[in-house]
Each structure stands twice: as structure tokens, then as C-alpha cells.
Chains A and B, each alone.
Chain A
Amino acid sequence: MSKIKWLWSIRLGAIALLLSFSAASAESPLQINSDAACMKCHKRNGSMLGHHGQDTMKMSCSSCHGEKGDHPKKPNDLVVFSLQEGSELDKQLAVCRKCHTPKKLSAADWTHNVHAKKVPCAACHKLHSATDPMAEMTPKVRSELCSSCHAGKQE
């Protein structure tokens, strides 16, 4: 009798353990998404899934976007990464350059060299999605990306 009880308790324990794992993975896989101050409002924007949000990187929202300051009041010092509606170009570039040196960027792809002062990184790169659209591109997609800005220009 005691043996059967013991076996059952092991089985139940295992099921509970499995359930807890699955619940945890469905909820929030990355630490950065439990940043209460930001996620209280920004949950609707979706969660941060990209490489920069990995736990081992030990980054928070403010690592890139800057301290909260007066936000959500305007004006504030938060950095918005975008080609169209972003912060000033120099401000955006300065954040990325803290880690990504020109030398490394140049080695990764030659196009970094010719766009260095002209467009923000976010014009091509997307950091919040699980995969950066620039990570793996077919030659066709790549050339189409070039055309999306350069079409019709004489330079």
C-alpha cells in the first residue's frame, strides 16, 4: 500500500513540474518583459523577443531607449528608433554605436559604411521581433530593400 502511494506521489509531482514549466514558458520567456515600469503600459506593443532581449545580455528597455524621465509627457528624452518618426538621427546612431563599432559593422556588411551618416539603424533592422529581417536575406529580398529607397534617385 505504501509503495503504491509513493508511486502516485512521484507521478503527481512529475505532472506538476511539467505544468509549471509549460506555464512559465507561455507567460514570459525573457526577463526583460517583466520590467514592470514599462510593461504596465506597453504590454499592448507586444513583447521583446529579439536577440537584445536575451537574459544573458542583461539589458532592460532603458539600455537602448534611455531613462524614463518625463515620459509619457512630452517632450522627453526617450530615444525612438525609426526612419520616419524616430528621434534625431545622431541620437539614434549614438545608442547603437555604444556597442557596435564602425569596424565591426564594416566587417559584417559593406552597406554599413555607405549609410553610416544617412539613415538610422532601424531603417533596416528590427530588434523587437524574434528574428531580425536583415539576418537572413535572399539576394532578391536584399536588392528589393535597396530599391525601396533608391528607386528613381539619380545617385
Chain B
Amino acid sequence: MENSKRRFLKGTCALLAGATGATLLTTVNAAESAKAEAEIKYAMVHDESKCIGCRACEVACREVNEVPEGVSRIEILQTGPFGEYPNQFYHFSRKSCQHCEDAPCVNVCPTGAAFIDKETGIVSVDAWKCVGCQYCIAACPYQVRFINPVTHAADKCDFCRETNLAQGKQPACVAACPTKALVFGNLKDSTSEIVQVLRANPTQRAKVALGTRPKLFRILAKSGEVVL
């Protein structure tokens, strides 16, 4: 009798200790894997002082991501001409998804179709989950979302996550740019080209006051006028 009580207590204690140990181990493992997952944070720089407005990026994006005519994931906005003929120039800026860290489109999506990829920080769309309610289109302060007429789902730039990036290549626009005005890379890798470019140049991001923490940086053209 005495013995069985002692054995029961011993057994229970051993079980509890084992269970606690296992739980602790799994938490540590989970924490480690979470840390590993967040080692990539993709961003892009558009150097407007190098952009010549050839729109090779638009063409390449349409081709690689099979974006139908009439809609586009990326647009080069053109302002100008500035100055007097024959010494005129234009400004070009890129209009595309800013891959916000706190993305309004993701926050409002009722089905979870709009999401931030935990491994890369890319804001993406799961076309299969999208019901086409267009709430994200209304919520996006940068107005870069559209309904793809083929898939009938919300669509936008995803840094070629499902196409070029999946094949280990640079995004189509970056690869196509003849003047190397676009730089794409990992913000968490201090040796990456994008980090070097961001360190060496003053950059701006659009509508930072909204707290969306966008990851599309622009290097402003050196010469220019104030456009109101």
C-alpha cells in the first residue's frame, strides 16, 4: 500500500517534469524557427534620377506575370516637360504596391486573401480566397490594386513572388530596367545592394504619415521643380 502510493507520486512527478520539459523545448524550437523565418524582408528602390521613362518595366511585368491589357501592376507616372526647349526634361515615378509592413489592404480583407508573407514580408494575394469585394482596393492609400479581369480576384505587384522570385530570379521589372534604376533586395542582409544604396542615398517613401511603413523607396531626381 505504502509502496504503491510512493510509486504513483514518483510516476506523476516524472510525467509532469517530462511534459514541462517537452513544452519548453517546443517553445524554444518555435521561437528559433520564427527567428529564421524573419530573416528576409524584401524591399525596392526606384532611383528617379536614373529612370528614363522607357517603360520596359511595365512591359516585362505584363509579360512575366501575365497581366491582361487594360490593367497593370506597375505604372511609370510622368510629369513634365520642365525647362525650355531644347533643354527639357521629365520626371518619372513608379506607382506600384509599396509592400507596407502595416498594410491597410491586409487589415480590411474579410477572407484572408490579402496577406503578408511571413518569410519575405511581401504583401500578396491568394486569388483562390479572394471573393472580389474590393474592400482592399478602397483601403489602399496608394491606389495600386485592381480586379484582374481574368481571375476576377484582386491583383497587384507581389515582387514576382510566384513567378521570377520563385525561380530564383530578380523581379521582372528590375531585370528589364536598362539603366539599373530599380534595386531589389533583402533589407535584413547588410551586405545586399539595396542596403548599400539606402545607406548611400537620401530616400523618400510615399505617405509615411499614414503609419503604413511602406517598403518602396524612391531616390528623387537631382534637378527638378516643386510639383504641387
Contact = CB atoms under 8 A, between A and B. Distances in A.
Contacts of A114: 81, 88-90
Interface stretch (B26-34, B54-62, B94-102, B138-146): B54-62
Interface in B32-61: 49-50, 52, 54-56, 58-59
A30 B131 CA distance: 62
A155 B50 contact: yes
A150 B88 contact: no
A36 interface: no
B87 interface: yes
Given A151-B178, A154-B179, A155-B50, A146 B56 contact: yes
A40 interface: no
Given A116-B86, A117-B87, A154-B50, A147 B56 contact: yes
A154 B54 CA distance: 14
Contacts of B52: 146, 150, 155
B179 A102 contact: no
Interface in A111-135: 113-114, 116-117
A117 B88 CA distance: 10
A154 B49 CA distance: 9
Contacts of B89: 114
A153 interface: yes
Interface stretch (A3-11, A12-20, A65-73, A136-144): A136-144
Given A102-B85, A154-B50, A140 B90 contact: no
A150 B81 contact: no
Nearest to A154: B50
A106 interface: yes
A153 B179 contact: yes
Contacts of A139: 55, 58-59
Contacts of B58: 139, 143
Contact of A116 (B80, B85, B179): B85
B85 A106 contact: yes
B151 interface: no
B78 interface: yes
Contacts of B176: 143
A106 B84 CA distance: 12
Contact of A150 (B54, B78, B80): B54
A152 interface: yes
B178 A152 contact: yes
A146 B51 CA distance: 11
- B85, B89, B90 — most chain A CB neighbours (10 Å): B85
A21 interface: no
- A102, A110, A142, A143 — most chain B CB neighbours (10 Å): A143
Contacts of B85: 102, 106, 113, 116
A113 B88 contact: yes
A116 B88 contact: yes
Contacts of A144: 56
Contacts of B55: 139, 142-143
Interface string B83-120: 00111111000000000000000000000000000000
Contacts of B86: 102, 113, 116-117
A110 B81 contact: yes
19 contacts: A106-B81, A113-B81, A113-B88, A113-B90, A114-B88, A114-B90, A117-B87, A139-B55, A140-B59, A140-B63, A142-B54, A143-B54, A143-B59, A144-B56, A146-B52, A150-B179, A151-B178, A152-B179, A155-B49
